[in-house]
Chains A and B, each alone.
Chain A
Amino acid sequence: MRRLVLFIPLAIFLVLAVFFMRGLSLNPMERASTMIGQPLPEFSLKRLDAPHQVVTRDDLLGQVFLLNVWGSWCPSCYDEHEYIVAAAKAGVPVIGLNYKDTPEKAHEYLRKMGNPYQMNLQEPEGMRALAFDLGVYGAPETFLVDREGTIRYHLTGVVTETLLNETLLPEVRRWQKH
């Protein structure tokens, strides 16, 4: 019995070691989204291809769609672009939110990379509108919005082939059936 007491520090050490081992494999950039289950915030933003036209929240509702936050300044956006194109080809409506960009550079990006977007909204530098209200803190980020305008999925970071096929597309189908 007295002997066993001596093993207590070892036991504590082992418990801590397991905790810290787990901590090593966690991604420190990962954040829990506050947006899941929340309504898409109200906004009124200019269209990129038709700047005289203002789009509001109500204009987007009625279909399940992906909202993709991007900018020509964002290197990872180039990486994920082919999968955004693939999502559009699979029949998923994708709305672009051109974030902290200029129309010239954004148009150049779309010319070069192809335009998978149903439409693009502009939130230039200095404006704190939809992206800010969605808690976007970088690009790319992707949201899944259902017919009623509730956010159902939120991805901070790059859409990969695996994420597209195993998460995004199945989620879209799921909410389309709802």
Chain B
Amino acid sequence: MAKTLMGLCMGLLIVSMAHAAIEVFPFADDQQRDRFQHLTELLRCPKCQNQTIGGSNSPIAQDMREQLFTLLQQGHSDQEVIDYMKARFGDYVVYQPPMRKDTWVLWWLPPLALLAGAIIILGLVWHKRRQSNAAAEVTSSPHEAQRAARLQQVLDRYADDKDIPS
């Protein structure tokens, strides 16, 4: 009995949750609907920690969706809509931070770190290569070549006279 009741409650919860997310907007055309959906994914709900206004059921997200629809109906461009929301709710409302003096670290640190990493790796490779080149030069010195030739001679002779006792 308790189980049935619990199931029923859960069911009702799911139904009410699904219901809350459904809103009907009479879009002018498919293009406007696509723009609306795109913008609801671009704009962040100011009340929530990390949800788009499209993914949140908070009252402010709902207000923002309705205002977004109104602005699109009035013929505002995507950028105008974003600026409109930014003017009210701040930079927080978009996921992409603005490029400003106080945000340059955010923008430039990753590429700079990548560049530094590339320089270090190139430096290491260059260092290694120089080392192995130097080693190769040692083996190809005249003295070393003579020794190699003599060794080869000894080996050849050994191969010819197999019956020489070792």
Contacts and interface: CB of A to CB of B under 8 A. Distances in A.
Interface residues of A, number: 15
A34 B87 CA distance: 6
B46 A137 contact: yes
Contacts of B47: 137-138
Contacts of B60: 137-138
A21 interface: no
Contact of B46 (A28, A31, A100): A31
Interface string B54-75: 0000011001001100000000
Interface residues of B, number: 15
A134 interface: yes
Mostly, the A contact residues are loop
Nearest to A30: B92
B147 interface: no
A151 B86 CA distance: 17
B88 A34 contact: yes
B37 to A, nearest CB: 20
A25 B63 CA distance: 31
Contact of B92 (A31, A100, A134): A31
Interface string A110-153: 00000000000000011010001111011000000000000000
A34 B89 contact: yes
A33 interface: yes
A24 interface: no
A78 to B, nearest CB: 19
A34 B90 contact: yes
A135 B67 contact: no
A32 interface: yes
Interface of A: 28, 31-34, 100, 125-126, 128, 132-135, 137-138
Given A134-B88, A138-B60, 14 more contacts: A31-B46, A31-B89, A31-B90, A32-B91, A32-B92, A33-B90, A34-B88, A125-B59, A126-B66, A128-B66, A132-B63, A135-B46, A135-B88, A137-B60
